[in-house]
Amino acid sequence: MSPIPLTPFRPANATEAAAGLAIQVTDLFHKLQGALPLETVLRRDEPLARRTTLRVGGPADIFVEPDCEHALVTVLELAAQMEVPVFVLGRGSNLLIRDGGVRGVVLSLAHSSFSAIERNGSLFQCGAGARLKAIATEARRAGVAGLEFLEGIPGSLGGALRMNAGAMNSWTFNVVERLRYVTRAGVIQDVPAAEVPVTYRSCPLLREAIAIGALLRGTADDPEAVRARMDAYSRKRWDSQPNQPSAGCTFKNPAPTLPAGKLIDELGLKGTRVGDAMVSDVHANFFVNLGNATARDVLQLIELVRQRAREARGVELEIEVEILGEDLP
């Protein structure tokens, strides 16, 4: 028997708001149990640290990995009705989850139904859950150029679209022909990429809407030439980036001629630590987890570096890593 639907909760203070959300989360979980197919992963209090490249953070109240678009729409519709927030988790790169975890629903599109890569000539229809390295590798095998830069970006296509991620002087939306997304109300749209405004490290549309997939375009080329470029990109990445757990670049470049890593290095902050969080001694814009870092450690290190940049150079460093969740009490 399904629980009785709740009347939207109107809290008088933060404590009441938290209590009201907890009740709505529990009610939503029971509704999802009855509405979602068995192939969809649905869990309570799912640990998230292991699902991020930085390896820090608390649990999700509800974790859902839909097995199809219909299940995805069901989650979004019910969450909207119950006024429970939904956050999207890709492959966990470029993400810092606070130690108290995430209230509401954490949605993952890692299921195989959202990770397919289908080729038609120099076009690739890719799901949002497809790994960027897998897309680049498939293009290399097919003798298609233009997608090599994706090999060096950790994570999935959905995250790259949301962040308009870039590497090797190329950007994700430079190779996007069409974008398929779903609104928070559960409405699916498929639009030409030319109609989607993008900026440096951002696709504003996908701050609210959720990417489901995209049509990517490359150009025909010799497979060995494509392989040679990918190998060169890979060598450059491994020579210039740390191999410890990290979230990727921590800050946006404050100016085209002033990389954040160069600025932090010039401030003498390589190797600076807070607990087990450290400014990498390989690339100063990467903050690494030496083994037992907490999200609090990383956040304190971020603020330390921002303060030094502000005081020493008058530069206000803007955080590139997305920060989700709540601190522990």
Q: Please give the Cα distance from 246 to 285 (Å, whole number).
A: 10
Task: Specify the residue for token string 């197919």.
Answer: 37
> How many whole angstroms from its chain centre is CA 17?
27
C-alpha triplet 178, 109, 164: angle, nearest 5°: 45
Contacts of 232 (CB under 8 A, 6+ apart): none
d(CA 140, CA 144): 6
pLDDT of residue 14: 62
Q: What is the pLDDT of residue 16?
A: 66
Q: What is the pLDDT of residue 234?
A: 78
| Cα–Cα nearest to 289, from 242, 236, 237 | 242
Domains belonging to the chain, first-starting first, are: 14-112 (3.30.43.10), 115-225 (3.30.465.10), 243-322 (3.90.78.10)
Q: Are 150 and 160 in contact (CB under 8 A)?
A: yes
- pLDDT value, residue 4: 36
CA dihedral of 185, 189, 192, 194, whole degrees rounded to 10: -10
Beta strands in the chain (DSSP E): 41-47, 59-65, 86-89, 95-97, 102-108, 117-120, 123-127, 144-145, 166-167, 170-171, 176-182, 188-192, 210-217, 219-220, 246-249, 273-274, 277-279, 286-289, 322-324
Structure-token pair, residue 44: 């309570």
Q: Which residues pair with 284 in a beta bridge?
A: none
pLDDT of residue 91: 86
Q: Which two tokens stand for residue 239?
A: 């020579």
pLDDT (0 to 100) of residue 318: 96
The predicted structure's pLDDT at residue 8: 42
Averaged pLDDT, groups of 10, the chain, 329 residues long:
38 67 94 96 97 96 97 96 93 93 96 94 96 93 92 87 84 95 94 93 92 96 89 76 90 92 97 98 96 98 98 96 93
Strand partners, 62: 44, 105
Which are the contacts of 69, defined by CB distance < 8 A and separation ≥ 6?
Answer: 113, 182, 188, 212
CB of 278 within 8 A of CB of 271?
A: yes
